[in-house]
Amino acid sequence: MSNNGYKTILLEQKTQGVWVLTVNRPEALNALNSTVLNEMGEALRQIGEMPYEDARALIITGSGEKAFVAGADIKEINELDEEKALTFAERGQSIFHELTLLKIPVIAAVNGFALGGGCELALGCDFIYASENAKFGLPEVSLGLIPGFGGTVRMARAIGQRRARELTYTGNMINASEALTMGLVNKVVPQADLISTVMKTVEAILSKAPIAVGSAKISINQAWDLDVEEAQKNEAKIFAELFTSDDVKEGTTAFIEKRKPQFKGQ
């Protein structure tokens, strides 16, 4: 598929229904600027509007071997005033929130530096696989700032408040193995194996009922905003709604008949 006129990202179909969005500014270590954010927002809208058979999983990565996304563009940040800074932060937060709203799994394949806005982008994905050379951090305090694209919110949820505070207050970078130990990333592999490893997991997900996977994502995400009792009520409601889909009948019948299910996403 063509790149649809994008200048700073690549949007390519890896296999049927599996898309790869690559932040493509290797000369700037894939730093996020307004153009990248706008193009990413457009790409996510494009994927969100596709029928299920055309969009079943999204992988997000960075161009080159050094960086996933090394942060936001400091030259652009340097020119912001309070009003423009609020717009900039809200724009980034809104686009990263789109990753949560997508009904398909979104996996970050972190292939190098994931700092500041890049770390926040990875945190916005459903989970993270990293190459051995990956490095993570929220160094905004060294610029007199705090993370503005959801970092103070999502990092604490990912690794707990105390570790999140330490990382955010110090601005320190951590390597891939430290990120794995903290539970920030799910798996660490050699860089050459990163995309193929992600694809193996994607293929496992694609063998399952797509509506069920999407519903699981919704339930997990909504649980953050509810107390345990309300979250469980919400889970039961989503569970029950799945019984209006053909896939439940197919999945349970196939199990009883000892055959592989043929899910249709409806």
Query: Residue 164: pLDDT above 60?
Result: yes
> What residues form DSSP beta bridges with 59?
20, 107
Q: Would you call 250 a catalytic residue per the annotation?
A: no
Among the options 120, 166, 241, 250, which is catalytic? Answer: 120
Q: What is the dihedral of CA 61, 65, 69, 72, to 10 degrees?
A: -150
Domain ranges in the chain are 9-206, 210-256
> How far apart, in whole angstroms, are the C-alpha atoms of residue 30 and residue 118?
9
Convert the pLDDT of each residue in 31-49 to its tens digit. 999 999 999 999 999 999 9
CATH number of this structure's domain 210-256, picked from the four choices 1.10.486.10, 1.10.12.10, 3.30.1320.10, 1.20.950.20: 1.10.12.10
Q: Which pLDDT score is estimated for 116? A: 96
Q: Which pLDDT score is estimated for 2? A: 46
Q: Would you call 120 a catalytic residue per the annotation?
A: yes
Q: What is the pTM of this model?
A: 0.94
CATH number of this structure's domain 9-206, picked from the four choices 3.40.50.10310, 1.10.220.110, 3.40.91.50, 3.90.226.10: 3.90.226.10
Among the options 12, 140, 230, 235, which is catalytic? Answer: 140
Average pLDDT over every residue of 214-231: 91
Q: Name the nearest CA neighbour of 176 among 108, 114, 126.
A: 114
User: Do 210-256 and 9-206 fall under one CATH topology?
Assistant: no
Average pLDDT over every residue of 238-257: 91
Query: Residue 15: pLDDT above 90?
Result: yes
Q: Which pLDDT score is estimated for 3? A: 60
Query: Can you spell out the DSSP letters for the chain?
Result: ---TT-SSEEEEEEETTEEEEEE--GGGTT-B-HHHHHHHHHHHHHHHTS-TTT-SEEEEEESSSSEEE--B-HHHHHT--HHHHHHHHHHHHHHHHHHHHSSS-EEEEE-SEEETHHHHHHHHSSEEEEETT-EEE-GGGGGT----SSHHHHHHHHH-HHHHHHHHHH--EEEHHHHHHHTS-SEEE-GGGHHHHHHHHHHHHHTS-HHHHHHHHHHHHHHTTS-HHHHHHHHHHHHHHGGGSHHHHHHHHHHHTTS-------
Query: Residue 52: pLDDT above 90?
Result: no
Angle at alpha carbon of residue 199, lines to 238 and 208, rounded to 5°: 30
Q: Which pLDDT score is estimated for 135? A: 98
Mean pLDDT of the chain: 94
Q: Which pLDDT score is estimated for 121? A: 97
